[in-house]
Amino acid sequence: MSHHDVVVLGGGYAGLPAALRLARQVRDDEVSVTLVTAFPDFVERPRLHQVAAGQRIRAVPVADYLDGTAVRPVIGAATAIDPAARTVTVGRDGTRRFIHYDTLVYALGSNVDLAAVPGAARHAYGLVGTDAAAEVRTRLTALAGRTGRVAVCGGGMTGIEIAAEVAESQPGLDVVLVSGSAPGGWLSGRAQRHLARTFAALGVTVRTGRRVREVEHGALVLDQGDRVGFDLCLWAGGFRVPELARAGGLAVNDEGRALVDGTLRSVSHPDVYVIGDAAAVPGSWGAQLAMGCRTGGFTAPAAADAIAARLTGREAAPFHYRYFHECISLGRRHGLVQFLDADGSPKDRILTGRAAIAYKNATLNGAKLFFRHPGPVTARRRRVTASAAPARRLS
Ligand SMILES: Cc1cc2nc3c(=O)[nH]c(=O)nc-3n(C[C@H](O)[C@H](O)[C@H](O)COP(=O)(O)OP(=O)(O)OC[C@H]3O[C@@H](n4cnc5c(N)ncnc54)[C@H](O)[C@@H]3O)c2cc1C
């Protein structure tokens, strides 16, 4: 068996633990694990609204998590994958390199979709990363002390969290949340009532039932042509996955999420595993898991174990998941934990207030603890078997 190269693309909630867990189960003289990721620091996306609101969130370098492991980091942006040649193109500082793989783990996540309506990319800010969150913080600081309006577009979890955080940190500003459907409309009745009370207490105004057609300089244009003026617009109208999977020829669904089997393997390319937001993972919940670190994080160990099993001559176990909770921060004094049935439907049971904030913090810190202890608890570095020769594309 020749040396086997595993390349993990994306060092986020799915890619980072997948690389770390796989490296614990194979011998590094037989299998190399390379993690390609765009930024030197781990981006804690679920805390970007806190960064935007002016809170200090300690950044942890990806290298810290890899220290003492056999995972080799490459900092750079993947710009293309070529499944036929089994290469990934990675760019950094104007240079370009090609990295070979035998097995690819595609974990490039998703990002705020600023292309959703005309003008959003130009006149609105999306929390697409640490730099964007810092830019929003600067803009909010400049507005503080004046009367001004912040329009938040999108009544999903991200829009709700941003609106609450901004309203709490800048009580002098008028925060309006504009959403086609009721914010948090998927939550239980109890949770929705709690959300409405909290928004009222924080001074967030909700304009619902109207979609944003366009974003202009200083104003949202709604579907019937009326306008909502703003001094700062924050776009949270949904996530979109990178185009690399589709462009590389992987089978994807209409949203561009890669189609995978029960072991997270691409249905078109058996040497490619797709995890996290980038994957459309089928199961008892339907055609795809909801995006989120609470879901995507669980695909990491399953993919790592499946790759290790196949390389070492064992059968890969199928991915199992059950929805359990959804944790929503509503500023630093309020929060909402919605407990879920296994299929993702909301239970009547919720947790609110500071207990919910503590619960959410514990969940996010737990994810980072998992990077330090990615398992398996009794990891055994087995030998690669001759039968683990790289698989070819399914025709
Ligand atoms: C403001 C906000 C709040 C959120 N709150 C929650 C929450 O409370 N709960 C929850 O479950 N989810 C929440 N999410 C969503 C959650 O952050 C994502 O669903 C989760 O991060 C997905 O994990 P992932 O590993 O698939 O992608 P990511 O964590 O985004 O990781 C993708 C990685 O790939 C890297 N990357 C991307 N493109 C390239 C490239 N071309 N080349 C190299 N590297 C690349 C990125 O830099 C990143 O490191 C929130 C998101 C935002 C923006």
Q: What is the pLDDT of residues 17-52, one digit of tens each?
A: 999 999 999 999 999 999 999 999 999 999 999 999
Yes or no: say if 363 and 201 are a contact pair by the CB < 8 Å rule. Answer: no
The answer to whether 300 and 15 are in contact (CB under 8 A) is yes
Average pLDDT in the 281-304 region? 95
Spell out where 47-190 has E strands.
Answer: 71-75, 77-82, 87-92, 95-100, 103-106, 111-112, 149-153, 174-179
> Above 60 in pLDDT, residue 358?
yes
- Residue at token pair 């948090």: 184
- pLDDT at 395 > cutoff 90: no
SS3 assignment, position 74: strand
According to the model, what pLDDT value does residue 394 have?
44
Mutate to test the pocket of ligand 1, among 277, 329, 360 (most ligand atoms within 8 A of CB): 277
Task: Look at residue 322 and tell me whether its pLDDT is greater than 60.
Answer: yes
Tell which one of 108, 264, 324 to mutate to probe ligand 1, the residue whose CB is within 8 A of the most ligand atoms.
108
Q: Ligand 1 — pocket residues by CB below 6 A? A: 10-15, 36-39, 43, 45-46, 48-49, 77-78, 107-109, 127, 158, 161, 242, 276-278, 291-294, 296, 327
pLDDT band at 387 (very low <50, low <70, confident <90, very high): low
pLDDT at 93: 92
In the chain, the N- to C-terminal Cα span, in Å, equals 25
Convert the pLDDT of each residue in 88-113 to its tens digit: 999 999 999 999 999 999 999 999 99
What are residue 84's phi and psi, to 5 degrees?
A: -70, -45
Nearest CA to ligand 1 atom 47: 38
Asked if 319 and 285 touch (Cβ cutoff 8 Å), the reply is: no
d(CA 240, CA 115): 9
What is the whole-number distance in angstroms between the Cα of residue 84 and the centre of ligand 1? 28
Q: Within a 13 Å sphere around the CA of 243, how many CA atoms are in the beta-carbon half?
A: 3
Q: Which of 259-263, 372-376, 379-383 has the lowest mean pLDDT?
A: 379-383
Over residues 339-343, the mean pLDDT reads 94
Task: Pick the residue whose CA is nearest to atom 11 on ligand 1.
Answer: 292
**DSSP structural state of residue 278:** G
* All domains in the chain, ordered by first residue: 4-110+241-321 (3.50.50.60), 112-237 (3.50.50.60)
Question: Which residues, including other chains, have CB under 8 Å from residue 313's CB and lie 6 or more apart?
Answer: 385, 387, 388
10 Å CB burial of residue 372 (0-12, 13-18, 19+) is exposed
Query: Is the separation of the CB atoms in 385 and 372 below 8 Å?
Result: no
Q: Is pLDDT of 155 > 90?
A: yes
Select from 293, 323, 336 the residue to mutate for testing ligand 1; criterion: most ligand atoms less than 8 Å from CB.
Answer: 293
Q: Which is it for the CA torsion 83, 84, 85, 90, positive or negative? A: negative
Ligand 1 mean position, distance from CA 237 (Å): 15
Q: How confident is the model at residue 210 (pLDDT cuts 50, 70, 90)?
A: confident
Residue 26 Rama label (left phi>0; alpha psi -120 to 50; beta): beta
Task: Report pLDDT for 191.
Answer: 98
Predicted pLDDT at 1: 56
- Output 392 or 267, whichever has higher pLDDT: 267
H or E element in which residue 358 lies: helix 353-372
| Mean pLDDT over each residue of the chain, to the nearest integer | 95
Q: What spacing in Å lies between the alpha carbon of 363 and ligand 1's midpoint?
A: 15
pLDDT at 70 over 90: yes
At residue 389, the pLDDT reads 55
pLDDT in the model for residue 147: 83
Look at residue 393 in the predicted model and tell me its pLDDT. 45
